[in-house]
Amino acid sequence: MNKQKYLFQFLTMALIFLTSQSFSQIMKDNLYQEDIKMANEILQQQFINEAMIKGDSHIVPATNDLTRLHRTLTHILEIKQKLSKLPSYTRSSDTVSLGDTLVIGFTPGDELIIDKTWFHPGPIIVLGDGVLKFQNAHATILGDLFTVENAQVIADSSYLYFPQEYFYQRNIFLTGNSSMKVHHSTLDFGGMVHSLATTDSASLELINVKKPDFSTVGMYGKSSITIDSIDMAGEFIIDENVSLDISHASTVLLWHSFDEDAKIDISFPDGDQVNHYVFNSSTSGVTGVNYSISINNCKHVLWGMMPYNGSEVTISNSRIRSIGMQFRGGDSISVSGLVNNNHYENYTAPLNDRYFHLNNCDVKTWSLYTFDTVFVDVKGCILGEIGVMQNSEVNVFNTYIDGSGGYFFASDTTFSVIGFSSLTSSLRSRDYSIVIFAYSTMMNGLVQALDHSILMLIQSSTTLNPVYDPGAVVWVANINSPSGFANSEVKIKGSAWIDKGAESDLMDFGHYAMYYQKASDTTTWYPIGGQQETEIKDGVLVTWDTDGIEPGAYFLRLDLTDDWGNVVTAVQTFTLLPGVLGTDDEPDQKRMPKVFPNPFTNMISIKVTGQNKEQISFSVYDSRGQVVFSTTKTQTTSGETGFSIDGSNFSPGVYYYRLERGDEMFTGKLVKF
């Protein structure tokens, strides 16, 4: 990929208002309709297969990593969307304002000096030989900062505050031959991770800087960064012909990019303190690398790498913080078996597009990043982060993303499916991406649909409600009812809705419909009710009349349809329990059986009040409606009688009991620890 040409195109968008075919029209032309349809079929079949064979399951995290160095590789690509939103302008002076965007440098010698408390409500672009200088200033900036051509940003003895509503909201982006020098100052990003990028021949110099927030820094072209005396340096994605020099710093994560021509056979230094480390083409065991890294007198130094397809890499006797596998091109690739927090004695990654070998290494975090039009199928992994970019597609199944490398994000015009997986990190779609999160669980983190993206949550649980930008859309299709009684009207609860932002011209809610199917008969779906025209949020989707329907295991299906004709499907297992025949009366509480302890671990005691010679039948059903215990007893005296059953061999989970006595029937729930 020609990054310089690509970045020049990004900056051109800052000054030219571009028009193109709208995303809504592309969607209406069914560009993604087949993808959504195929994803539905795969997810539905996978759910039924897993439910029939082993029930619902998710990978459980082996550890709870509370020290998360959130990271993303999308910042340079994300600039495109931000710059494309800038309005056209009419030049009226040297320093102009495009709405909330401040532009400095249209004429030679243009300079803006800030030497007091200053507030700016949007982005700043410094062009040409323009200069933005902060001297003894306290500046608050609610936007990104871009430098172009020979522009300069200088800060001395100043406090620069870039508040963020969410991590990676703010970017500092240096390109051309521009520079930014920050001396004896503070860079504050509101306690959240932020991003910075240098490209072309741009340079960044941070000397004696207080920076309490973690940074993600991408370095490309022939750019350079010099840092001396900083408390939290951050992570650095090092590529192409760049130069990085860091001294007297803390918390440094070095991402070594290994391009397709790279041949690497090295060991990283051991220990937390690094007095001197040099990595370049002259380093023993290194060829095909054009960048240079110099680290001096730094502590908390962590080692990372990004092997591209075509590279040949062997790492020995090292403690590796992060490995970010990058996938480029247009091929289809399968990835499985990558596990965080693991020791690799003699391991070769099962990838046919590169050679990657670990010898006596500990790996904290694996992450995956996709580009171009590549398709990557991920199964059975424990990862720190997945990033889907450009026009790539990713399927993620039976995988756990623990947040130790960041989160799951999709940008540009990508298409992603996450199924039967777990996240303890955020889920984010942005730009024009589509993300389907199905039969999965989020145990922590934000759920966000940004820009003009589409986020679909299918039969999944999240700790926080999804939020969306004015141009984005969120779908939710969930069935929450796991069981009900036969011969009654069962209220099936759940959600079926589509919400979009006020500025979105994408799809909206159309209707939904529900169906049931006997688990033993996977050929025929029967409708429940009819087409429903009102969306439901955590309410009753439909009332199912189960009169005459045989008790047992079923599948319920929810079809959610938008007003363009696209459909997503949610499927849930459902147990139809034996119910009371011929009466809607509430049971006599005095006649109800006493079942204890509940929950139970081993023995269960049942006490019943009845008449002499009255026959009592007691049965226990599992969550699929199968009988796991049954007994019949004849009462010998009037009054209370009791008996016990041994439940020690029951698997942990939810069970249901049915007690029949004369013409009475009682049902209830049991829970086994």
**How many residues can be counted in the chain?**
673
Q: Which two tokens stand for residue 78?
A: 């994300």
How many separate domains does the chain show?
Answer: 3
In the chain, how long is the greatest CA-to-CA distance?
Answer: 107
Question: What's the rounded Cα separation, in Å, for the pair 206 and 285?
Answer: 31
131-140, 253-262, 544-553, 639-648: range with lowest mean pLDDT: 639-648
Rounded to an integer, the average pLDDT of 464-471 is 94
Q: Which two tokens stand for residue 389?
A: 């970019």
Strands 483-485 and 393-397: unpaired
Query: Highest-confidence range of 17-26, 165-174, 559-568, 605-614, by mean pLDDT?
Result: 559-568
Check if the beta carbon of residue 267 is closer than 8 Å to that of residue 279.
no
Helix H, strand E, coil C: the string for 428-479 is EECCCCEEEEECCEECCCCEEECCCCEEEEECCECCCCCEECCCCEEEEEEE
Using CA atoms, how far residue 289 sits from 104, 285, 312, in Å, is: 37, 11, 12
The residue from 551, 577, 603 where one domain ends is 577
pLDDT classification of 19: cutoffs 50, 70, 90: very low
pLDDT classification of 36: cutoffs 50, 70, 90: confident
Q: Are residues 142 and 169 in the same domain?
A: yes
Domain CATH code at residue 535: 2.60.40.10
Amino acid at 191: G
The answer to the question of residue 298 being in a domain is yes
Domain of residue 632, residue span: 594-672
Does pLDDT of 10 surpass 80? no
Q: Which two tokens stand for residue 83?
A: 């710059």
Q: Are residues 264 and 117 in the same domain?
A: yes
The residue from 273, 302, 331 where one domain ends is 302
The answer to the question of residue 37 being in a domain is no
Question: What's the rounded Cα separation, in Å, for the pair 602 and 645?
Answer: 9
What does the DSSP assignment read for 122-191? S-EEE-TT-EEEEES-EEEE-S-EEE-TT-EEEEES-EEE---SSTT--EEEE-TT-EEEEEEEEEE-TT
The answer to the question of residue 334 being in a domain is no
- The pLDDT of residue 292 is 98
- The pLDDT of residue 221 is 92
Q: Are residues 142 and 280 in the same domain?
A: yes
- The pLDDT of residue 99 is 56
pLDDT classification of 542: cutoffs 50, 70, 90: very high
The answer to the question of residue 401 being in a domain is no
Q: Are residues 517 and 654 in the same domain?
A: no
The answer to the question of residue 615 being in a domain is yes
Does pLDDT of 403 surpass 80? yes
List Cβ neighbours of 154 (8 Å cut-off, separation of 6 or more): 131, 132, 133, 134, 135, 180, 181
11-20, 169-178, 661-670: range with lowest mean pLDDT: 11-20
Q: Are residues 552 and 662 in the same domain?
A: no
pLDDT classification of 580: cutoffs 50, 70, 90: very low
How large a percentage of the chain has pLDDT more than 90?
54
Neighbours of 270 (CB within 10 A): 10
pLDDT classification of 391: cutoffs 50, 70, 90: very high
pLDDT classification of 641: cutoffs 50, 70, 90: confident
Q: Which two tokens stand for residue 231?
A: 């408390």
- Helix (H), strand (E) at residue 27: helix 23-28
- The pLDDT of residue 525 is 92
Does pLDDT of 117 surpass 60? yes
pLDDT classification of 596: cutoffs 50, 70, 90: confident
Rounded to an integer, the average pLDDT of 30-43 is 68
The answer to the question of residue 463 being in a domain is no
pLDDT greater at residue 337 or residue 457 = 457
Does pLDDT of 552 surpass 80? yes
pLDDT greater at residue 271 or residue 144 = 144
Check if the beta carbon of residue 201 is closer than 8 Å to that of residue 223.
yes
Q: Is 38 helix (H, G, I), strand (E, B) or coil?
A: helix
How does pLDDT run across 235-287, given as a tens digit for each residue?
A: 999 999 999 999 999 999 999 999 999 999 999 998 789 999 999 999 999 99
Rounded to an integer, the average pLDDT of 68-85 is 34
Q: Are residues 120 and 258 in the same domain?
A: yes
pLDDT greater at residue 85 or residue 42 = 42
Q: Are residues 120 and 222 in the same domain?
A: yes
Question: What's the rounded Cα separation, in Å, for the pair 141 and 120?
Answer: 5
- The pLDDT of residue 135 is 97
The answer to the question of residue 26 being in a domain is no
How large a percentage of the chain has pLDDT more than 70?
84
Check if the beta carbon of residue 424 is closer than 8 Å to that of residue 61.
yes
Rounded to an integer, the average pLDDT of 643-648 is 86
Domain CATH code at residue 604: 2.60.40.2550
Q: Are residues 613 and 665 in the same domain?
A: yes
Query: Highest-confidence range of 26-40, 408-422, 481-495, by mean pLDDT?
Result: 408-422
- The pLDDT of residue 12 is 31
Does pLDDT of 81 surpass 80? no
Q: Are residues 482 and 557 in the same domain?
A: yes
- The pLDDT of residue 9 is 33
Q: Are residues 126 and 166 in the same domain?
A: yes
Using CA atoms, how far residue 99 sits from 14, 15, 96, 121, 124, in Å, is: 13, 13, 9, 10, 11
Q: Which two tokens stand for residue 327?
A: 């996938």
Does pLDDT of 85 surpass 50? no
Question: What's the rounded Cα separation, in Å, for the pair 550 and 520?
Answer: 12
Exposed / middle / buried, residue 363 (Cβ in 10 Å: 0-12, 13-18, 19+):
buried
- The pLDDT of residue 64 is 26
- The pLDDT of residue 590 is 58
Rounded to an integer, the average pLDDT of 622-626 is 66
Rounded to an integer, the average pLDDT of 285-305 is 96
Neighbours of 235 (CB within 10 A): 24
The residue from 577, 611, 630 where one domain ends is 577
List Cβ neighbours of 299 (8 Å cut-off, separation of 6 or more): 250, 272, 273, 274
Q: Across the chain, what does the average pLDDT equal? A: 83
The answer to the question of residue 181 being in a domain is yes
pLDDT classification of 59: cutoffs 50, 70, 90: very low
pLDDT greater at residue 82 or residue 438 = 438
Q: Are residues 626 and 529 in the same domain?
A: no
Q: Are residues 538 and 667 in the same domain?
A: no
Question: What's the rounded Cα separation, in Å, for the pair 182 and 175?
Answer: 17
